[in-house]
Amino acid sequence: MTLTQIALFALAVGLAIGVALSLLVAWAYRARARVVEETSTIVPDGVTDVLGSMDDAACVVDTSGLVLAASNAAARFGIEVGATLDNTELRQLVRGVRNSGGTATESLRITRGGLSLDPRLVSARASVISPRMSLLIIRDVTEQERLDQMRRDFVANTSHELKTPVGAVTLLAEAIESAADDPAQVRVFAARISAEASRLGQLTGRIMSLSRLQADDGLSEVRPVSIDEVVASSIEAHVVQADSAGVDLARGGDRGVWVRGDAQILIEAIGNLIANAIVYSPKGSRVGVGVRADGGVVEIAVSDQGIGIAEADRERIFERFYRADEARSRRTGGTGLGLSIVKHATQRHGGEVLLWSRPGRGSTFTVRLPLIDPPLAEASKKGKKNKKKRERKAAKNSSAPRIRNGENA
């Protein structure tokens, strides 16, 4: 073998060794990077930024259940960075996806903020983002479940309530047919049919009112509304009912108070409170409607001296079709929707309704609404009226004799 051949052979061997060493070094670096990745608990910046912008509760946990990063909403479920994920069901969900290497979603009922009295229905989704880290997203669907249940209850209750008058009308119609030869009985049955039809119409109207209040499009006619007109119209609509029940209606409080909203809806809401107060008041008692403006809020209070509401019923009194006194409501033709309409009408106007009651002493329902300044025309009219009062007072003072040093001046 010549010297040239030996040199070429040595060069080839050296090149092969160099390539092998380079590959070995690259493999070592890759293996080291893979080991670092598998054992690292550093959350990537992109994941942290996404968590910071999420409205749902979300967190990144390691294999031991330690929370490495979390969204702001995660605190509502007691999930904090540096703490261990303490909910057993959530930990089992994360452990399951880590073993399978996929993604899983479960509906769970867990406590929020560590309070056992506040269980929340959540949709929890876990997925693996690295060998040592998993992403857990918790979406609170309690309100959605509640609304769905309310919708189902509303349909069921409405169907049940409508069946009663419809069934009564059907039976009475058959009774009229069988008593066609007895005019007196026909008149009795006809009067009962008219009463059931009136009840059916009232129930249907209130269902439609409640549906409009719960619609997403809000109030249709929003304008400045005079509370004086609302109270006056509500009282006027129930004068006959009060006279028949032997109940006195009284109005007091501030005048010239204005709110923004739908006048007809407010009249119906206050009217429902007055109607309920009359129904549950004994003969010879008084129902009062008072208005007070204070601190940017208008309070319209309807008080009665009736039987009051038991404490057990106060939490449910605003529910649809709920009746604290079932027998009395049936006897007076109540629909069980009046107070629910009051609640939703008040909420639509940005207010709230409060209840004070004591069995045997009566009840007071207070509607609180945001106060607004009177419209310019009303303010101008009020200013002119006050000016005339001041002028009459000044004229009266100027015409009166003035006393100086004990003598007429």
Written as tens digits, the pLDDT of the chain (409 aa) is 677 777 777 778 778 887 778 887 777 677 666 655 555 567 777 778 888 888 888 999 888 888 888 898 888 888 888 888 888 889 889 988 888 878 899 988 887 554 444 678 889 999 988 878 889 999 988 878 877 776 776 676 667 667 767 777 888 888 888 887 888 888 888 888 887 777 677 667 666 666 666 554 556 677 899 999 999 999 998 898 899 889 999 999 999 999 998 888 898 889 889 988 998 888 889 999 999 998 889 999 999 988 888 777 777 777 766 655 544 444 444 556 778 888 888 888 888 999 898 888 889 999 999 999 888 755 555 555 555 556 565 555 555 444 334 333 2
Determine contact, residues 90/109, Cβ cutoff 8 Å.
no
Task: Mark whether 196 and 135 lie in a shared domain.
Answer: no
For position 82, which CATH number holds? 3.30.450.20
Task: Mark whether 200 and 288 lie in a shared domain.
Answer: no
Residue 409 is assigned to a structural domain of this protein: no
Residue 405 is assigned to a structural domain of this protein: no
Task: Mark whether 83 and 205 lie in a shared domain.
Answer: no
pLDDT at 400: 46
Helix (H) or strand (E) holding 59: strand 57-62
Nearest to 340 by CA among 241, 234, 214: 214
What is each CA distance from 94 to 121, 150, 319, 388, 389, in whole angstroms? Answer: 18, 33, 40, 78, 78
Q: Which two tokens stand for residue 61?
A: 């946990």
End residue of a domain, out of 217, 233, 249: 217
End residue of a domain, out of 119, 140, 161: 140
> Residue 351 corresponds to which amino acid?
G
Cα separation, 241 vs 194, whole angstroms: 18
pLDDT at 386: 56
pLDDT at 117: 46
Task: Mark whether 120 and 245 lie in a shared domain.
Answer: no
Task: Mark whether 237 and 335 lie in a shared domain.
Answer: yes
Cα separation, 392 vs 404, whole angstroms: 24
Residue 349 is assigned to a structural domain of this protein: yes
Task: Mark whether 133 and 146 lie in a shared domain.
Answer: no
Residue 64 is assigned to a structural domain of this protein: yes
Q: Which domain holds residue 250?
A: 223-395
pLDDT at 273: 92
Helix (H) or strand (E) holding 198: helix 183-213
Residue 11 is assigned to a structural domain of this protein: no
Helix (H) or strand (E) holding 266: helix 263-279
Long-range contacts of 203-212 (CB under 8 A, 24+ apart): 203/161, 203/162, 203/165, 203/335, 203/337, 204/162, 206/335, 206/337, 206/338, 206/341, 207/158, 207/337, 209/265, 209/268, 209/337, 209/341, 210/320, 210/337, 210/340, 210/341, 210/344
Task: Mark whether 208 and 227 lie in a shared domain.
Answer: no
Cα separation, 103 vs 98, whole angstroms: 9
Task: Mark whether 263 and 209 lie in a shared domain.
Answer: no
pLDDT at 125: 92
Length of the chain: 409
Q: Which two tokens stand for residue 120?
A: 């929340």
Task: Mark whether 169 and 104 lie in a shared domain.
Answer: no
Determine contact, residues 85/64, Cβ cutoff 8 Å.
no
Burial class, 273, CB count within 10 angstroms (exposed 0-12 / middle 13-18 / buried 19+): buried
Task: Mark whether 205 and 295 lie in a shared domain.
Answer: no
